[in-house]
Amino acid sequence: MARTGAPPDGTVEYRTGDSDGGFDRLAFAFELDSDPADVPLADPARFDFSLALNRRADGRPQRRIAVPWYGAGMSYGSIGFPVMYARFRAAAELGTLSSTGEGGYPDALAEFKDTIITQVATGLFGVNEATLQRAPVLEIKYAQGAKPGLGGHLLGNKNTDTVAQLREAVQGTSLFSPFPFHSVYSVEDHKKHVDWLKQTNPRALISVKVSTPTDVDMVAVGSYYAGAHIIHLDGAYGGTGAAPEIAKKNIAMPIEYAIPKVHHFLVEEGIRDEVVLMASGGLRTAYDVAKAIALGADGAIIGTAELVAIGCIRIAQCEKGLGCPFGITTTDPEHARLVNPQEAWQRIVNMYRAWLWQLGGILERFGMTSIAELRGRSDLLVYLD
């Protein structure tokens, strides 16, 4: 899809991967009765895929993205400038957003300021008023699904001069983000963080990124009452090769359980339509996005799939030496030249435009014209075991 911009023709597997869990164990009922070669497709122009990000009627901008997903946080330090450029350029082309992750973003990317979500994580690296004030969405990152409770770690060899300057750190030193925010131990403390960001940028929407503990439904309600516009659930199947293997798939609640748990609790509390619920962590295909929405999410947040579109082959070398041998997860300026940013952003756009044809085919099967109609329709899914 990234090469051609066209959906797959059914001669290769296009709906599931090899994770042995997650969305690979779920399917839409029609998939069981259809030939895999019969790929349901429909012209995206006939459907409304847009997603409103502010449902609080609080006087802040009514921002709407054209597709039901945006790009996950990838910090300048974990990836290099060409990849950051490609992700934000692709998001601008598609009418959606993408996140800087922790560590701020270079001034050279300011041309995409209306497309960039800036993240405020526990280390506060790269957090300054200039970037906070020009971002349409500010994201507070409390935890990552692939390594909840472990914080963040950028190895010294990836902390180059430009990374150190942006993060206001010493070049060559390892940088650690603690867990948790040591200023947040209650909903009241959380609200102070939200209020701080709202005061800093009166036009920004606030997103809260959390992992999926067993009481994630209570966490979500607390974030709503703290004033968040977007609740971002990050499941265990996400993360790059930088996440410790012992943490992946072993700590957080599976995202396919967390989504309906939070969705139904927000419905019971009478606030479901006042907050946007986004899901990430192992969503790699258009079918995964559709399944997440059917379970109760409003949309999805995509990370590794974008890197695969660029050329990642999942060898988990992100944190070793100079990083990825293909120049994707590196901050070494010479090594990063392996990525052609102009070609890379077009490949991301190609993949996503192909996804829209697949999403259109799914909606057409159910007689729907809007992606919003699919939300919470878990009755359309079957568990393969």
Task: Render pLDDT for 25-82 as a digit per residue (tens, 0 to 9).
Answer: 999 999 998 887 788 999 999 999 999 999 999 999 999 999 999 999 998 888 889 9
In which band, very low, low, confident or very high, does the pLDDT at 276 lie, cut at 50, 70 and 90? very high
**CA 346, CA 56: separation in Å to the nearest integer?**
35
Backbone phi, then psi, for 360, in 5-degree steps?
-60, -40
Q: Is 275 helix (H, G, I), strand (E, B) or coil?
A: coil
Residue 307 reports pLDDT greater than 80 = yes
Comparing 114 with 103, the larger pLDDT belongs to 114
Which tokens hold the place of 71? 């790009």
| pLDDT score, position 346 | 98
Beta carbons within 8 Å of 227's beta carbon, 6+ residues apart: 56, 58, 191, 194, 195, 198, 206
What ranges make up the beta strands (E) of the chain? Answer: 26-28, 51-52, 64-65, 69-71, 98-99, 116-120, 137-141, 152-154, 175-177, 205-210, 230-234, 276-280, 299-302, 381-383
Residue 189 reports pLDDT greater than 90 = yes
Q: Which amino acid appears at position 344 of this protein? A: A
Portion of the chain with pLDDT greater than 90, in percent: 62
**CA 363, CA 358: separation in Å to the nearest integer?**
9
Determine which of 87-96, 120-129, 157-166, 369-378 has the lowest per-residue pLDDT on average: 157-166
**CA 358, CA 364: separation in Å to the nearest integer?**
10
| pLDDT score, position 65 | 98
Distances in Å between the Cα of 341 and the Cα atoms of 84, 85, 126, 344 are 9, 6, 23, 5
| pLDDT score, position 243 | 60
Quick: pLDDT tens for 197-251: 999 999 999 999 998 988 999 999 999 999 999 999 998 776 655 566 666 566 6
| pLDDT score, position 77 | 83
Residue 170 reports pLDDT greater than 90 = no
DSSP state of 314: -
| pLDDT score, position 361 | 96
In which band, very low, low, confident or very high, does the pLDDT at 5 lie, cut at 50, 70 and 90? very high
**Cis preceding linkage at 180, omega within 30:** yes
Ordered alpha helix ranges (H), 244-340: 255-268, 286-295, 304-310
Determine which of 11-15, 16-20, 22-26, 117-121 has the lowest per-residue pLDDT on average: 16-20
N- to C-terminal Cα distance for the chain?
A: 29
Q: Which amino acid appears at position 205 of this protein? A: L
The answer to whether residues 75 and 160 touch, using CB atoms and an 8 Å cutoff, is no
**How buried is 129 (Cβ within 10 angstroms: 0-12 exposed, 13-18 middle, 19+ buried)?**
exposed
The answer to whether residues 273 and 225 touch, using CB atoms and an 8 Å cutoff, is no
Q: What is the pLDDT averaged over residues 313-322? A: 78
| pLDDT score, position 146 | 59
Work out the angle at residue 241's Cα, subtended by the Cα atoms of residues 252 and 207, and round it to the nearest 5 degrees. 50
Q: What is the pLDDT averaged over residues 344-373? A: 97
Highest-scoring range by mean pLDDT, 117-131, 148-162, 358-372 = 358-372
The DSSP bridge partners found for residue 76 are: 79
* Of 15, 22, 20, 18, residue with least CA distance to 255: 22
| pLDDT score, position 249 | 60
Q: What is the pLDDT averaged over residues 181-206? A: 93
* Of 350, 329, 292, residue with least CA distance to 69: 292
In which band, very low, low, confident or very high, does the pLDDT at 381 lie, cut at 50, 70 and 90? very high
DSSP state of 106: -
| pLDDT score, position 150 | 67
Which tokens hold the place of 361? 């085919």
| pLDDT score, position 238 | 66
What value does the mean pLDDT of the chain take? 90
| pLDDT score, position 14 | 80
* Of 263, 269, 284, residue with least CA distance to 374: 263
Determine which of 175-179, 222-226, 324-328 has the lowest per-residue pLDDT on average: 175-179
